[in-house]
């Protein structure tokens, strides 16, 4: 089998991967031949994104756990030379170029030093831009990274397919979960609206003001993406929030 046929096989495996973990495993199966054993890919948080939200930006991750913890808890994303280099550039690059390209200040020196401690001595990173204009960064690292120009191209191409697959899976997951949470009060108001009670009646039943019951219903309506109260009730029943 030619080298290119093998590449196509990787792509095929990626397209059939059903979980982010399977995508990671396939990708690292390819890149580990070149000493790239750790992987992190995700959308780049705006500077100053609260730590609690930084992990939500991760799409693929097979990275030393403690390193990730430290990275997030020390807010390294704002000082990482790889991240800043990547934002300026549209092409793949090697980590060592990034630390050379920018003046390494105390904070970014610390990031790179800490990375080596976790056996991430060098790696490569590249930015991609989604349809919506969001930057997705892929970073692969390891202890002894060795790859030619052609292999560099191969790795970045396979990574692009991997991140594409991860985004497909991510969108599917978001669509299934739907992320709707109704408060107990909103649910209660909807339940009474479903049996034909007016806002005033609901307020009397629940012992709240009419204005408050109206507000609960409006909130529920917007969470359910409904245009009016009838649709909100129908949608809440369909999703099983009320019966």
Partner 1 sequence: MLFALTTQELMERPDLWEAVHRLRYKIFVEEMGWTDLKRPDGFEIDQFDHDEAVHQLVIRGGELAGYQRMLPTTRPHLLTEVLVDLYEGTPPSGPRVWELTRYAVAPGYRDGKRGVSTVGTELIAGFVEWGLKRDVNQVIIEFEPMWVLRALQLHFLATPLGYQRTYGSQQVVATLLTFNEHTLDVVRSRRNHHAPVLARGTPDMLGMRQAS
- Residues in contact with partner 1, shown as a per-residue x/- string from 62 to 101 under the rule CB under 8 A: ----------------------------xxx---------
Q: What are phi and psi of 166, to 5 degrees?
A: -60, -40
Residue 19 sits in the site that holds partner 1 (CB under 8 A) = no
> Site size for partner 1, by CB under 8 A?
31
The one segment of 42-50, 158-166, 203-211, 224-232 that binds partner 1 by CB under 8 A:
158-166
Q: Do residues 122 and 94 make contact, with C-beta atoms less than 8 angstroms apart?
A: yes
Site for partner 1 in 169-188 (CB under 8 A): 171
CB of 154 to partner 1, least distance (A): 6
The one segment of 18-26, 115-123, 125-133, 212-220 that binds partner 1 by CB under 8 A:
125-133
Q: Among residues 134 and 231, whose Cβ is nearest to partner 1? A: 134
CB of 123 to partner 1, least distance (A): 18
Among 83, 145, 167, 190, binds partner 1 (CB under 8 A): 167
Q: Among residues 4 and 207, whose Cβ is nearest to partner 1? A: 4
Residue 168 sits in the site that holds partner 1 (CB under 8 A) = yes
Overall size of the chain counted in residues = 243
Task: Encode the chain in three state secondary structure.
Answer: CCHHHHHHHHHHHHHHCCCHHHHHHHHHHHHHHHCCCEEEEEECCCCCCCHHHHHHHEEEEECCHHHHHHHHHCCHHHCCHHHHHHHHCCCCEEHHHHHHHCCCCHHHHHHHHHHHHCCCCEEEEEEEECCCCCEEEEEEEECCCCCCHHHHHHHHHHHHHHHHHHHHHHHHHHHHHCCCCCCHHHHHHHHHHHCCCCHHHHHHHHCCCHHHHHHHHHHHHHHCCCCCHHHHHHHHHHCCCCC
Residue 128 sits in the site that holds partner 1 (CB under 8 A) = yes
Q: Strand order in 135-142's β-sheet?
A: 58-62, 38-43, 135-142, 122-129, 93-94
- Residues in contact with partner 1, shown as a per-residue x/- string from 25 to 64 under the rule CB under 8 A: ----------------------------------------
- Residues in contact with partner 1, shown as a per-residue x/- string from 132 to 151 under the rule CB under 8 A: xxxxx-------------x-
CB of 166 to partner 1, least distance (A): 9
Residues engaged in binding partner 1 (CB under 8 A):
2, 4, 7-8, 11, 15, 90-92, 128-136, 150, 153-154, 156-157, 160-161, 163-165, 167-168, 171
């Amino acid at each position: 089998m030619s080298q290119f046929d093998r590449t196509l096989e990787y792509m095929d495996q990626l397209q059939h991967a059903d979980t982010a973990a399977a995508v990671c495993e396939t990708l690292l199966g390819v890149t580990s031949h070149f000493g790239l054993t750790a992987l992190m890919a995700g959308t780049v948080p705006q500077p100053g994104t609260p730590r609690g939200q930084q992990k939500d930006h991760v799409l693929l991750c097979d990275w030393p756990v403690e390193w990730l913890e430290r990275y997030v808890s020390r807010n390294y994303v704002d000082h990482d030379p790889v991240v800043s280099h990547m934002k300026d550039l549209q092409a793949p690059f090697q980590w060592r170029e990034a630390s050379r390209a920018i003046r390494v200040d105390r904070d970014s020196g610390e990031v790179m030093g800490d990375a080596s401690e976790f056996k991430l001595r060098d790696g490569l990173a590249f930015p991609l831009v989604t349809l919506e204009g969001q930057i997705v960064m892929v970073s692969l690292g390891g202890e002894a990274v060795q790859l030619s120009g052609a292999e560099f191209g191969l790795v970045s191409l396979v990574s692009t397919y991997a991140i594409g697959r991860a985004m497909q899976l991510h969108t599917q997951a978001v669509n299934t979960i739907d992320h709707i949470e109704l408060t107990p009060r909103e649910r209660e108001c909807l339940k009474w609206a479903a049996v034909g009670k007016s806002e005033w009646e609901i307020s009397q039943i629940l012992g709240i003001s009419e204005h408050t019951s109206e507000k609960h219903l409006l909130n529920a309506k917007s969470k359910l993406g409904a245009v009016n109260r009838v649709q909100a009730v129908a949608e809440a029943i369909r999703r099983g929030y009320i019966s």
